[in-house]
Amino acid sequence: MFTHTFLGTNDVEKSRAFYAAVMAALGHETAVPLPHGTAFPSASGSLIVATPANGEVHTVSNGYTLGFKAANAGVVDAWHAAGVANGGTCEGAPGVRENSPGQQYGAYLRDPDGNKICAFAPNPGV
């Protein structure tokens, strides 16, 4: 459905380290450095984290969350741990989300720039 997702950053190196860690935890280890950020390509689309094209300071989008697909609960746990270890903050510890479709297993982080991201996997108990 999507060709790519673009998240803004004000610190390319800090965002590169954070996203290299969380994307590797999901099995996406290819990080392509760009002059203004980093691209993480996959067969189903790309994530780009870079400074805003208009040259203005990045600000967080209120109400926006970028969700990543994880293979299983263990991958969600590893993703969350990688994010916290690399400058992210916990916005929701790993666990079953009762209100999600299929009661999926998920976790939430804020990246170093304040963007809200999450990773979800099927609930193994459902």
Hunting for tokens 């304040």 — which residue is that? 114
Amino acid letter, residue 88? G
pTM, entire model: 0.85
Which three-class secondary structure state does DSSP give residue 104?
coil
pLDDT in tens, 78-111: 999 999 999 999 999 999 998 888 899 999 999 9
pLDDT in tens, 27-61: 999 999 999 999 999 988 899 999 998 889 999 88
Helix 73-85, helix 12-25: angle, nearest 10: 160
Q: Which domains does the chain possess?
A: 4-51+64-121 (3.10.180.10)
